[in-house]
Amino acid sequence: MMQRIRNNKLSLIIAAVVLAFVVALVLLLQDSDKPQEALTEKLVEFNGSELEERQDGKLVWHLTAQKILVDPETGKTYFIKPKGTFVSDDTELTVTADQGIVDRKARTIEIKAPLEATTNKGDSLQTDGSVYYNMDTHGIKGGKVTIKRADTTELGADTFETNAALDKVNLTGHARVTKGEE
């Protein structure tokens, strides 16, 4: 047995290093943006609060939630049961989900999946991943998406970028546009 270990010493060392690397990688890739139990002690909590941004007196976006948790160290704001309204011209996109994060430093709003997103014009957006709103460009982007328009047109792709009206859409990877029957 000892002879076998000595003969395979290099293989065992390599396997141990690979295993340690995999464990470290898994720990690093865990979602660090979720307020975990140990972290909630340092978070400041608000119930039924809201945030919004206006430009030239016009609403750009508005975010409400059942509960808001603010991390004073990072400046990130965590939303429980958020409802976001994002405005583009005369169209409002309403997004609801279980969680969201506002990062004022990065100037982004992340609404985490599962989520529902619909416009006041009858269009909808479905995605398995989070959607990200850029506060500077007012653009929305995310991963795999299906956008259904009120006129029965359906768009889909691996990634997307759009405005809040869902009328200026950039599709990337396996993009498709189909027109349904009315």
Do 110 and 59 share a structural domain? yes
Do 169 and 96 share a structural domain? yes
* Residue at 10: amino acid letter: L
Do 85 and 10 share a structural domain? no
Residue 166 inside a domain? The answer is yes
- The CATH number covering residue 92 comes to 2.60.450.10
Tens of pLDDT along 42-56? 777 766 678 889 999
Domain span holding position 168: 42-179
Burial class (CB in 10 A: 0-12, 13-18, 19+), 74: middle
Residue 37 inside a domain? The answer is no
- Report residue 22: phi and psi, to 5°: -60, -45
Do 97 and 9 share a structural domain? no
Q: Which tops the pLDDT comparison, 49 or 3? A: 49
* Nearest-angstrom CA–CA distance, 147 and 123: 7
pLDDT value for 48: 67
Do 148 and 127 share a structural domain? yes
* Nearest-angstrom CA–CA distance, 34 and 163: 27
Q: CA dist 176 to 8, 124, 147, 161, 163, Å?
A: 53, 16, 10, 14, 18
Do 150 and 96 share a structural domain? yes
Tens of pLDDT along 96-136? 999 999 998 999 999 999 999 999 999 999 998 999 999 99
Do 142 and 75 share a structural domain? yes
Q: Which tops the pLDDT comparison, 9 or 104? A: 104
Do 74 and 19 share a structural domain? no
Helix, strand, coil share (%) of the chain residues, nearest 5: 15, 45, 35
**Which of 45-49, 60-64, 69-73, 134-138 is predicted least confidently?**
45-49
Q: Which tops the pLDDT comparison, 32 or 76? A: 76
Do 142 and 67 share a structural domain? yes
CB 95 within 8 A of CB 117: yes
